[in-house]
Amino acid sequence: MTAPEHERPVPAFEAVGLARSYRLEGVSVDALRGVDLRIDHGEFVAIIGPSGSGKSTLMHLLGCLDRPTSGILRVNGVDVATLDDTGLAELRNQAIGFVFQSFHLLGRTSALDNVALPLVYRGVGRSERRERARRALEAVGLAHRLDHRPSQMSGGEQQRVAIARALVGDPKVVLADEPTGNLDSRNGQEVMDILTELNAARGVAVVLVTHEREVADLARRRIHVRDGQVELDERDGVGGSPQGVSAQGDPAAGRREGP
């Protein structure tokens, strides 16, 4: 049963006809072509699809790192079109933690200072920044690596630093673009354990892009993207029933055959 519209909680993300085109040497590339999507707080979602299908483009829009060309995107109920660049950066900083496949850490800066950086933009004082960064690193099992630079850490450790940096601001949502893509299976498993625990214990919504079936299967919902559109929106069944399939937006989408 679906609650009446006015009683439903504000979703983490709501996209209507979301589109993003890139202009490249006079040619327009339509990376996203009308995505309708709702992701609630507390969900654990995997975004899957072929290379070039628009997954990272979608993640950048959800993460307020980029703006749509057309369509509506609401983050925590706020229409991003109503925000200037400062407002967009604030929304991102307050609500969202972002983890990239390639880590995006500052190479000459210690793990502690890398993790503390987002708090600088929030105006948190130095000693509190360092304390919170230390706790975030502890939470990902890196209490013994606070003073190491990224170049002095393994790939798995660097990815965990990137996760600690995404967590330090207590985001309601963590977006992760192929968080296990550069890792071997053991390190990948550790990263997934952290994200799963974060979702289960703290109710943080996790939205991740992955090419790996086992990783996608850890999520309770899988959004299949193809050619810049949502092809299939698949949710795990409730109460042990076989995997339920529900369409978002396009009612035909759920009936379409898989790849």
Ligand X SMILES: Nc1ncnc2c1ncn2[C@@H]1O[C@H](COP(=O)(O)OP(=O)(O)OP(=O)(O)O)[C@@H](O)[C@H]1O
Name the site residues for Mg ion (rule: CB under 5 A). Answer: 56
Q: Which region, judged by CB under 6 A, interacts with ligand X, from 36-44, 53-61, 66-74, 112-120? A: 53-61
- Name which of 130 and 211 has its Cβ closer to Mg ion: 211
- Name which of 63 and 169 has its Cβ closer to ligand X: 63
Q: Which region, judged by CB under 6 A, interacts with ligand X, from 24-32, 119-127, 135-143, 230-238? A: 24-32
Smallest separation, CB 9 to Mg ion (Å)? 30
- Name which of 53 and 248 has its Cβ closer to Mg ion: 53
If one asks whether residue 259 binds ligand X (CB under 6 A), the answer comes out as no
CA distance 29 to 249: 23
Q: Which of 51, 127, 241, 243 binds ligand X (CB under 6 A)?
A: 51
DSSP structure string for 231-253: EEEEEPPSTTPSPEE--SSSTTG
Smallest separation, CB 66 to ligand X (Å)? 9
**Sign of CA pseudo-dihedral 128, 131, 137, 138:** negative
Binding to ligand X (CB under 6 A): which residues in 195-254?
Answer: none
Binding to ligand X (CB under 6 A): which residues in 31-50?
Answer: 31, 49
Smallest separation, CB 53 to ligand X (Å)? 4
Residues of the shown chain interacting with ligand X in the complex, contacts defined by CB under 6 A: 22, 24, 29, 31, 49, 51-57
